[in-house]
């Protein structure tokens, strides 16, 4: 075995040539994380020799989720914990890390650090240069990254797992057009304007209403930014200006505030559509305040992303970017809640 080949492995793995030698020849004294890193690098450079079996070591996977406290991300964290428990510590060692969405550089630094320690990464992130740079860093090291919920189409990711957000918005628009056949105003409340999921949902909703229900008048989008006080102020101003509100679509959170304002302003017979099934939306559906909620299916996000990543690590499977990672959107009404 040529020393030059070992040097390539050492450089790619970020370790010394002595460590590579210990791993390749199974001399011990090397951590499981480093063993995996060296063997991954050896395969990547095409080292021509029989490599040790690393399947006895659990796969090290880190999941980065938002710490914004919304139900969906709390549920996602719980679902990943259940997966780790079900598979057992001999199969997988899963780390769940909650990171604030701002500043994005904080997430980027954590991803880079994780790429030195883990076999694979699952991340919820947004379209910022620092995040793109971090994913490129993972790609160059041979660490597969799956983007979750919000896609980064121009980034170096291995696969995306999530619903089609634009299609979700169009689905909400279709439901609205079928529910309201007479002229009236429709209010749109958006979550963070700098998050692609909300941009795509609002765009899909707007396009569907424009094409399918020209009798409905779309009011200016309320940029609530998922902030309670801002949503209350903007929505109150709009409700006072409109005499014929027949529909409301909320792409984000704060449904309790929205429903309270609608009731205070005596808005009745309104088709109200939002996202996710949790305690607030469940109660609003039961009370006939909310008409539909479009649920992203947190469990399927967790299961599918973990299965795809493990399949790749174990067999080299290469998924189709969107087909294999597609999550099915669920339309929930008062009649089909679990």
Q: Is residue 312 part of a domain?
A: yes
Query: pLDDT per residue over 116-157, tens digit each?
Result: 888 899 999 999 999 999 999 999 988 999 999 999 999 999
Is the C-alpha dihedral spanning 18, 21, 26, 27 positive or negative?
negative
Q: Which residues of the chain are under the pLDDT cut of 70?
A: 1-4, 27-29, 53-57, 89-90
pLDDT at 52: 74
Are 65 and 77 spatial neighbours (Cβ–Cβ below 8 Å)? yes
Instruction: State whether residue 97 is helix, strand or coil.
Output: strand
pLDDT at 90: 65
- Residue 211 has φ and ψ, to the nearest 5°, of -80, -35
**Do 318 and 207 reside in the same domain of the chain?**
no
pLDDT at 28: 60
C-alpha–C-alpha distance, residues 145 and 115, integer Å: 9
> What's the start-to-end Cα distance of the chain, in Å?
60
pLDDT at 142: 87
Q: Tell me the pTM.
A: 0.83
What does the mean pLDDT of the chain come to? 91
C-alpha–C-alpha distance, residues 107 and 30, integer Å: 29
**Do 157 and 187 reside in the same domain of the chain?**
no
pLDDT at 218: 97
pLDDT at 54: 60
Domain, as residue range, for 263: 165-295
Three-point CA angle 17, 23, 26, nearest 5°: 135
pLDDT at 226: 82
Are 160 and 123 spatial neighbours (Cβ–Cβ below 8 Å)? no
**Do 169 and 288 reside in the same domain of the chain?**
yes
**Do 286 and 169 reside in the same domain of the chain?**
yes
* Distance from chain centroid for Cα 33: 26
**Do 210 and 242 reside in the same domain of the chain?**
yes
Q: Is residue 109 part of a domain?
A: yes
């Amino acid at each position: 075995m040529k020393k030059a080949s070992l040097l390539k492995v050492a450089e790619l793995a970020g370790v010394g040539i002595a460590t590579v030698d210990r791993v390749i020849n199974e001399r011990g004294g090397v951590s499981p994380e480093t063993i995996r890193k060296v063997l991954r690098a050896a395969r990547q450079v095409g080292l021509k020799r029989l490599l040790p079996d690393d399947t006895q070591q659990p796969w090290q996977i880190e999941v980065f989720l938002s710490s914004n406290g919304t139900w969906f991300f709390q549920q996602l964290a719980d679902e990943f914990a259940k997966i780790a428990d079900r598979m057992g510590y001999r199969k997988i060692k899963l780390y769940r890390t909650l990171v604030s969405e701002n500043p994005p550089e904080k997430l980027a630094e954590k991803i880079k650090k994780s790429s030195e320690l883990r076999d694979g990464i699952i991340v919820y992130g947004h379209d910022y240069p620092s995040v793109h740079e971090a994913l490129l860093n993972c790609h160059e090291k041979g660490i597969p990254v799956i983007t979750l919920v919000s896609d980064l189409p121009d980034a170096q990711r291995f696969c995306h797992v999530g619903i089609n957000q634009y299609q979700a918005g169009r689905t909400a628009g279709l439901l609205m057009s079928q529910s309201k056949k007479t002229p009236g105003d429709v209010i749109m409340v958006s979550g963070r304007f700098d998050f692609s999921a909300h941009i795509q949902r609002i765009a899909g909703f707007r396009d569907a209403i424009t094409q399918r229900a020209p009798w409905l008048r779309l009011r200016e989008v309320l940029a609530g930014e998922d902030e309670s006080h801002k949503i209350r102020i903007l929505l109150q101003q709009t409700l006072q200006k409109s005499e014929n509100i027949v529909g409301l679509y909320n792409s984000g959170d704060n449904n309790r505030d929205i429903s309270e304002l609608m009731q205070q302003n005596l808005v009745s017979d309104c088709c109200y559509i939002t996202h996710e099934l949790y305690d607030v939306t469940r109660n609003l559906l039961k009370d006939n305040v909310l008409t539909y909620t479009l649920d992203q299916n947190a469990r399927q996000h967790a299961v599918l992303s973990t299965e795809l990543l493990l399949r790749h690590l174990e067999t080299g499977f290469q998924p189709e970017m969107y087909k294999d990672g597609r999550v099915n959107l669920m339309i929930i009404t008062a009649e089909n809640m679990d």
